[in-house]
Amino acid sequence: MTTSTSYSFKENVVASARVKWLILKTAMEERLVYRGDFAFATLVRFLPIVTQIFLWNAIFADDTDLVLNGYSYANMVAYYLLVMIARAFSSMPGLANGIALSVRDGSVRKYLIQPVDMLDYLFWHRIAHKLVYYAVAIGPFCLVFWLCRDYLPGWPEPKVTIACICSLFMAFLIGFLIESLIGLISFWFLEVSSLIFVYMMMNYFLSGHMIPLEWISEWIPWVNYLPFKYLAYFPAAILLGRIPPDTLVVELTIQASWIVVLLAANRMAFHYGVRRYGAFGG
């Protein structure tokens, strides 16, 4: 019988990086299996933005100089295009449902019996999904942006660009952590589809996906204290110059703090959830 091997810190870091890389690679291969469905799903995602542009075109049609709550027609189009980019980072289709399903049907056990960290595994799996999505969607994205180039504010300063990239990356993390947290709640309730529905609704209203967040925050000021605004509104608002430069760092810090809070909540939910787990399903 062999005895357990102990590894040095460096060995652990290298081995962990190799596992992440291979999860990423394998998940990308998996993503490309169903080519037709994947290509269709990617293209269909562009439809809502087209309908949004038409909708606002109709609203602004009678008065092209109209400025609605600080947004002209050009501002609205630019806002929706940039929100679309932010959502391409922060939306996590199927993540929470996937975790819940794996808890219900018992397939979650693979994360429990193998020497892997479930959240880490799912994270790299999701990064693979996103990378493949961006690789396919970049063409249509460029086309849409080129067609709408007159509505866009122009290239931002390097400082703003860096802030925007940071906020997009953190939007991805917040989106991932919220959905994985909802998924982990299935250790208690098994079925979380209603929770996911509520989250989708809140996300739609409170992230700035439906309308710019300034319009909502006039009625509901606490909307600014929630993590949702960092999923869509915040990265778009940075590029549109709607975040005052002196508050940019503070906002980015708050966004990073939400990541810490959500990560801690995920770790706690996993720790206690697994203790409750009954491993039903064979």
Partner 1 sequence: MPAIVVENLGRTYQVYRKREGLLASLRGLFHREYREVQAVKDVSFTIEEGEMLAFLGPNGAGKTTTLKLLSGLIVPTSGTATVLGHVPWKREDAYRRRFSLVTGQKEQLWWDLPAQESFRLHKEIYRISTEDYHSRLTELTELLDVTELMGQPVRELSLGERMRMELIAALLHRPDVLFLDEPTIGLDVISQRKVQQFLRKYQKEQGITVILTSHYMKDVEALCDRAIVINKGAVIHDGALAEIVDRFSQHKIVELHFASDSTPHGIDRYGVVLEDRPPMLRLQVEKQKVSAVLSQVLAEYSIEDISVSERPLEDVIAELFSAEGG
In the complex, the residues that contact partner 1 under the rule CB under 8 A are 1-2, 4-7, 15, 18-19, 22-23, 26, 29-30, 33-34, 106-107, 109-110, 112-116, 274-275, 277-279, 281-282
Closest to partner 1 by CB, 32 vs 162, is 32
Closest to partner 1 by CB, 79 vs 133, is 133
Closest to partner 1 by CB, 110 vs 159, is 110
Closest to partner 1 by CB, 5 vs 64, is 5
Closest to partner 1 by CB, 148 vs 274, is 274
Distance CA 212, CA 219 (A): 13
Q: How far is the CB of 132 from partner 1 (least distance, A)?
A: 14
Q: How far is the CB of 40 from partner 1 (least distance, A)?
A: 17
* Residue 243, burial from CB neighbour count under 10 angstroms (0-12, 13-18, 19+): buried
Q: Is the four-CA dihedral 44, 156, 170, 125 of positive or negative sign?
A: positive
Q: How far is the CB of 3 from partner 1 (least distance, A)?
A: 8
Closest to partner 1 by CB, 255 vs 266, is 266
Report yes or no: 161 and 240 within 8 Å, Cβ to Cβ: no
Closest to partner 1 by CB, 184 vs 211, is 184
